[in-house]
Chain A
Amino acid sequence: MEYTAEGRRQSFRLSMLIYDTRYRSLTIQIAALVGLLLVIGWLVSNTAQNLSALGKPVNFGFLNQPASYDINQSFIEYSSRSSHLRASAIGLMNTLLVAVLGCALATVIGLVFGVLRLSKNWVIARLMTVYIEVFRNVPVLLWIVFYMAIIIEVLPAPRDFRGESPGSSMIFWDSVAITNRGVYVPEPLFSNGLGDISIFGLFAISLDLLALIFVLAIGIFAAGRVAQRANKTQEETGVRPSTWHYRTALIVLPSVTLLLALGFHLGLPELKGFNFSGGINMRNSLIALWLALACYTGAFIAEIVRAGILSVSKGQSEAAFALGLRPTQSMRLVILPQALRVIIPPLISQYLNLTKNSSLAIAIGYMDVTGTLGGITLNQTGRELECILLLIICFLCISLTVSAVLNWYNNLVKLKER
């Protein structure tokens, strides 16, 4: 006993850092951290040194220089005199556009096809299997190029719409033109619009759009209140008052009134000179990229959906049938809500994959952020390190945001353990 008492009083010795299990793991971790920091420091300083030896020190000043090139799809004002920073921002918006469109369509495709693959109808189930296996087993780059080639080679050129007996004509009462350069659809115009407001002088937002969103939001909120009241009445009396016409009117009437007041009309695309003008041009590159990404990712999502549905025990659907729910109802109200808990986490990675795969846009000349910042800007300024770093930051921010939003949603639907 005396011996151990003495041992406890023993003062701290340096060798204890290694031989004493109380300190050992801490010692190793600190040593590893110091080593890692040294390696990072060496890499950074070596890069900086080598770049300055090359005469190219790290410098982000080029972002304020005029970009000098044109971009064919931009949501905010842009000309070749705008800065590289603005060109990058436009590329980023184009990336976001195709990512949002792609995720939305991929979800629809995945949900429908995933459910259909479990169909009892042999033909439909097999067809879905073929679709899924074909799309997810071919690299997405090939799909993108393939869709683009089909659009370019198969669809008519704008000049085919010209002349006395044109080879092609517009569809839907001369309002939509499908060409190999893109699809031209009517655009909403306002003859007595409210104009635009400029945000910090950086870009302009249409006040008409803001007003419309505001009125719609109020309508939807009011309709929600009506539905709540109906729920309350139902709980109290057991009779649900019929409110759908109030709710529809609350949403539709104010919006229609506003549209009429603003002088809403459609601007139709029209063949002028080499191209159609007027209307909204959905470029061939956007369509090809969008469809390819959505079909490819949709195949993966379909499998995730199928796995999610299969994970719900058979007793659940049997119970739903026993309650008298129809197959579609039991799928919508019983199976899918439970399957979502399994579906959401892998779905997040599919959304992230789609967003990152959108950087393949450069293969078909869609001007996303890899096309502007990581492509032309990088090439014309020769600032490889700076541009790639900015690109990494851009994609990291997008991915982390997508991930954060979906994780939040996942927390809403996941099994609440009490």
Chain B
Amino acid sequence: MKQRILLGTVAALTMSAGTVLAGTLDDVMAKGHLQCGTNTGLVGFAAPDENGVWEGFDVAYCRALAAAIFGDPMAVKFTPLTGKTRFTALASGEIDVLSRNTTWTFSRDVDLKQTFVGINYYDGQGFMAKKSLGVSSAHELGGASVCIQTGTTTELNLADFFRSNGMEYDPIPIETNAEAREQFFADACDVYTTDRSGLAATRASHEDPDSLVVLPEIVSKEPLGPLVRHGDDQWADIARWVLNALVSAEELGITAANAMEMAEGTNNPEINRLLGSEGNFGEMIGLPGDWAVHAIMARGNYEEIFEAYIGVNTPIGLVRGVNALWTDGGLIYSPPFR
């Protein structure tokens, strides 16, 4: 019996390991769609809308990537993943790209053998509590029960934060955002901790957002971004430069509405190179010449995506802050298309 179980495990791992080595772009082309790993449901970042179509900040990136490859933003299928299952899904080849508010860390990049292709949201871990709890600072949380998603960096930051501040706490590990909400709203835990963007999303989906308060402390750096497997540089390049194209598009004033028009040629050589009317960037990266046009037209440039799904005019209500363009004093920055 033991051997049989062992065999099964080994066989499963062998098969999964085998698929890793093929060229991802060829695989995706052969499949006819992109397989994208997302959150199991986080309003604003990745959630199905009323028609069952996945939409959100993280989803929009996958739509842009699919559009760059196929010219069709809908040529993408989504695999909802928990914090625990996401890396295994990527490593095993179940998904082609993971766009699930994932923090870029040393060990994930180096030891888990992932390639982060950029940062699309600079975040930090925070705490959310009910206003009725009467807490105004994370330093008052000694002895509290803390709901936390397992398999995330927040789990480790939380341990470090309470340890370094000499406070006790009671960790309540949960799998998904939905479970966290259930426990938090029923007072089974006093505070819920995750990235502040995620807290804002959870708060926005509550019937009375004003009864919840996000504490001011930011206890960690959480640079979030899409990632792919180690070992396929061409695929990593595609994923990286689609993200850069969206950022550059904002900087250069290219929007979903005017991209097609600008693609016919402008006075700005960088726009021309990006949109394919000059040079052969598409050929270099292994995509059609108008890849960036389709990527931008999928859900707009970085600013349009941000404002449509998580910006101040949405229920999530996040301000650009450090996520503004570098030209506006933020950290969002794309290397040049040259």
Interchain nearest-CB distance for B82 vs A (Å): 10
The answer to whether B174 and A274 touch across the interface, beta carbons within 8 angstroms, is: no
The answer to whether B230 and A43 touch across the interface, beta carbons within 8 angstroms, is: no
Q: What does the 1/0 interface line of A154-167 toward B look like (CB < 8 Å)? A: 00011100000000
How many A-B residue contacts, CB cutoff 8 Å?
A: 140
User: Which chain B residues (15-73) contact chain A, with CB distance < 8 Å?
Assistant: 17-18, 20-21
State in angstroms the CA–CA spacing of A40 and B190 once bound together: 51
Asked if A47 meets B13 with Cβ closer than 8 Å, knowing A69-B156, A149-B182, A376-B173, the reply is yes
Asked if A72 meets B155 with Cβ closer than 8 Å, knowing A43-B11, A273-B144, the reply is no
State in angstroms the CA–CA spacing of A371 and B150 once bound together: 9
The answer to whether A54 and B231 touch across the interface, beta carbons within 8 angstroms, is: yes
Interchain nearest-CB distance for A150 vs B (Å): 11
A243 at the interface (CB under 8 A from B): no
The answer to whether B111 and A274 touch across the interface, beta carbons within 8 angstroms, is: no
State in angstroms the CA–CA spacing of A46 and B10 once bound together: 9
B186: contacting residue among A152, A273, A381, CB under 8 A: A152
Asked if A273 meets B2 with Cβ closer than 8 Å, knowing A379-B84, A380-B156, the reply is no
A284: contacting residue among B18, B150, B188, CB under 8 A: B188
Q: Which residues of A contact B155 (CB under 8 A)?
A: 69, 376, 380
The answer to whether A375 and B145 touch across the interface, beta carbons within 8 angstroms, is: no
The answer to whether A157 and B186 touch across the interface, beta carbons within 8 angstroms, is: yes
The answer to whether B14 and A392 touch across the interface, beta carbons within 8 angstroms, is: no
B220 at the interface (CB under 8 A from A): no
The answer to whether A54 and B20 touch across the interface, beta carbons within 8 angstroms, is: yes
Asked if A43 meets B20 with Cβ closer than 8 Å, knowing A68-B160, A274-B190, the reply is no
User: Which chain A residues (378-394) contact chain B, with CB distance < 8 Å?
Assistant: 378-382, 384-385, 388-389, 392
Interchain nearest-CB distance for A222 vs B (Å): 44
Residue from B141, B151, B173, B183 with most neighbouring chain A CB atoms (10 Å):
B173
Q: What does the 1/0 interface line of B210-242 toward A look like (CB < 8 Å)? A: 000000000000000000001100000000000
Asked if A180 meets B188 with Cβ closer than 8 Å, knowing A47-B13, A385-B9, the reply is yes
The answer to whether A365 and B174 touch across the interface, beta carbons within 8 angstroms, is: yes
Number of interface residues of A (CB under 8 A): 51
Asked if A274 meets B9 with Cβ closer than 8 Å, knowing A149-B182, A375-B151, A379-B83, the reply is no
Residue from B7, B91, B186 with most neighbouring chain A CB atoms (10 Å):
B186
Asked if A371 meets B173 with Cβ closer than 8 Å, knowing A43-B7, A50-B18, the reply is yes
B78 at the interface (CB under 8 A from A): no
The answer to whether A392 and B159 touch across the interface, beta carbons within 8 angstroms, is: no
Asked if A376 meets B171 with Cβ closer than 8 Å, knowing A40-B7, A180-B188, A385-B9, the reply is no
The answer to whether A362 and B14 touch across the interface, beta carbons within 8 angstroms, is: no
The answer to whether A157 and B143 touch across the interface, beta carbons within 8 angstroms, is: no
State in angstroms the CA–CA spacing of A388 and B189 once bound together: 30
Range of interface residues on B (Cβ < 8 Å) = 35 or more
The answer to whether A273 and B143 touch across the interface, beta carbons within 8 angstroms, is: yes
Residue from A46, A55, A180, A380 with most neighbouring chain B CB atoms (10 Å):
A380
What secondary structure prevails in chain A residues at the interface with B? Answer: helix
User: Which chain A residues (131-172) contact chain B, with CB distance < 8 Å?
Assistant: 149, 152-153, 157-159
A80 at the interface (CB under 8 A from B): yes
The answer to whether B159 and A157 touch across the interface, beta carbons within 8 angstroms, is: no
State in angstroms the CA–CA spacing of A251 and B65 once bound together: 75
User: Which chain B residues (132-160) contact chain A, with CB distance < 8 Å?
Assistant: 133, 141-145, 150-151, 155-156, 158-160
Q: Which residues of A contact B141 (CB under 8 A)?
A: 274
B172 at the interface (CB under 8 A from A): yes
A25 at the interface (CB under 8 A from B): no
State in angstroms the CA–CA spacing of A403 and B328 once bound together: 68
Asked if A71 meets B171 with Cβ closer than 8 Å, knowing A180-B188, A273-B144, the reply is yes
The answer to whether B150 and A379 touch across the interface, beta carbons within 8 angstroms, is: yes
The answer to whether B145 and A389 touch across the interface, beta carbons within 8 angstroms, is: no
The answer to whether A157 and B231 touch across the interface, beta carbons within 8 angstroms, is: no
Q: Which residues of A contact B186 (CB under 8 A)?
A: 152-153, 157, 180
State in angstroms the CA–CA spacing of A385 and B13 once bound together: 8
B17: contacting residue among A54, A159, A274, A382, CB under 8 A: A54
The answer to whether B145 and A363 touch across the interface, beta carbons within 8 angstroms, is: no
B122 at the interface (CB under 8 A from A): no
Q: Which residues of A contact B3 (CB under 8 A)?
A: 40
Least CB separation from A40: chain B residue: B7
Least CB separation from A277: chain B residue: B143
The answer to whether B87 and A382 touch across the interface, beta carbons within 8 angstroms, is: yes
B206 at the interface (CB under 8 A from A): no
User: Which chain A residues (231-278) contact chain B, with CB distance < 8 Å?
Assistant: 272-275, 277
A56 at the interface (CB under 8 A from B): yes
Q: Which residues of B contact A51 (CB under 8 A)?
A: 13, 17
Q: Which residues of A contact B160 (CB under 8 A)?
A: 68, 80
A53: contacting residue among B21, B150, B170, CB under 8 A: B21
Asked if A181 meets B145 with Cβ closer than 8 Å, knowing A54-B113, A367-B173, A375-B84, the reply is yes
Q: What does the 1/0 interface line of A389-405 toward B look like (CB < 8 Å)? A: 10010001000000000
A79 at the interface (CB under 8 A from B): yes
The answer to whether A275 and B10 touch across the interface, beta carbons within 8 angstroms, is: no
The answer to whether A392 and B2 touch across the interface, beta carbons within 8 angstroms, is: yes
State in angstroms the CA–CA spacing of A386 and B126 once bound together: 33
State in angstroms the CA–CA spacing of A157 and B188 once bound together: 7
The answer to whether A72 and B151 touch across the interface, beta carbons within 8 angstroms, is: no
The answer to whether A47 and B14 touch across the interface, beta carbons within 8 angstroms, is: yes
State in angstroms the CA–CA spacing of A284 and B188 once bound together: 9
Interchain nearest-CB distance for A387 vs B (Å): 11
Q: Which residues of A contact B162 (CB under 8 A)?
A: 70
A210 at the interface (CB under 8 A from B): no
Asked if A275 meets B144 with Cβ closer than 8 Å, knowing A54-B231, A376-B155, A392-B6, the reply is yes
Q: Which residues of A contact B189 (CB under 8 A)?
A: 181
Least CB separation from B111: chain A residue: A382
B112 at the interface (CB under 8 A from A): yes
A310 at the interface (CB under 8 A from B): no
Least CB separation from A381: chain B residue: B111
The answer to whether A43 and B171 touch across the interface, beta carbons within 8 angstroms, is: no
Q: Which residues of B contact A38 (CB under 8 A)?
A: none
Q: Which residues of B contact A (CB under 8 A)?
A: 2-3, 5-7, 9-11, 13-14, 17-18, 20-21, 83-84, 87-88, 91, 107-108, 111-113, 133, 141-145, 150-151, 155-156, 158-160, 162-163, 169-175, 179, 182-183, 186-190, 230-231
- Given A40-B7, A158-B187, A365-B174, 5 more contacts at CB 8 Å? A70-B169, A371-B150, A375-B84, A382-B111, A382-B113
Q: Which residues of A contact B (CB under 8 A)?
A: 40, 43-44, 46-47, 50-51, 53-56, 68-72, 79-81, 149, 152-153, 157-159, 180-181, 272-275, 277, 284, 362-363, 365, 367, 371, 375-376, 378-382, 384-385, 388-389, 392, 396
